[in-house]
Structure 1
Amino acid sequence: MRETLVLNASFEPLATVSLRRAVVLVMQDKAVVEHVHPGMRIRAASVDVPVPRVIRLSRYVRVPFRRQASWSRRGVLARDRHRCAYCGKRATTVDHVVPRSHGGRDTWLNTVASCAEDNHRKADRTPEQAGMRLLRRPFAPTPADVLVSALGGSVRDGLPRGIPPLAL
């Protein structure tokens, strides 16, 4: 299912929603389409609309300020682009740099994406104890970074391919 970026009326990123939810918001005039998937359309008996990739709400929504994105396994995998932090292969699990049994917690700075083989090989040890080195250091993304990575973009590189920067 495709994800659509939702911007506030002030062009601040708010969330990602399913394609279905994005179309409903546009059809109810609660949002306008800012960017579409080229050449893709949704067709029904009485509707023919382009597939939205970015929508902007028509009215401003006040959102409490968050300094840091909340931690999640899905977020760690997205932050690391589903690449193993030890070998670079496709990652399917999350590994704790300092194992939970040694006091490690579920935090952005203590978790990395890992392939099942490396996660099993490292087991209940730190990377130094296991003789493994991290290809990249974990970092805590901002809430906006999490939204960009959820759309398939790089947290460090900015917007996903195909979405031009907004001209303000």
Structure 2
Amino acid sequence: MEVIATRIPDVKLIKPKVFGDDRGFFMETWNERAFAEAGIDATFVQDNHSRSVKNTLRGLHYQIKQPQGKLVRCTKGEVFDVAVDLRKSSPTFGQWVGEYLSEENQHQLWVPPGFAHGFLVTSETADFQYKCTDYYAPEYERAIHWEDEALSIEWPLSSSDLPLLSEKDSKAVVFSEAEKYDQHGELQ
């Protein structure tokens, strides 16, 4: 596997080795030892799978307690995946990074704890799967508005397209009002 630091070095793009022939393909999506050697030392406690239609935007989500690291991938279709740094002590605080993940490129993205995460479906449908380092805790879940001008995320939407949002995501707060993390990953 190839692990590439993104514009935010703690967020890693993972390109697994894919072995294919006329029958299909095989790839290893998680190997604790190989990922630890690549600087991703994580223990996962929960796996999630969502299916969404084109222009669905899920995010930008995070938990103020029990922050989750996420190893994400798109197993059907394509998504534009985004991570926003919420760690006040970080040199990349308030910055975002986006990567296309698809069934074609087989890429994964490591989003460590302390980040908000979201994705936009760019294909007709998409299956999105991710491993989490902590359990989902709805009482601690927060969301930052996808269209916040301070973040200026360049979502791949045409000017006439509006994303399909949950009620929670449509009412999300702007970045300046969002709860953030201190240097220890604690709520600040």
TM-score interval, smaller chain: under 0.3
TM-score normalized with structure 2 length: 0.20
Higher strand share: 2
TM-score normalized with structure 1 length: 0.22
- Larger relative contact order (CA 8 Å, sep ≥ 6): 2
Higher helix share: 1
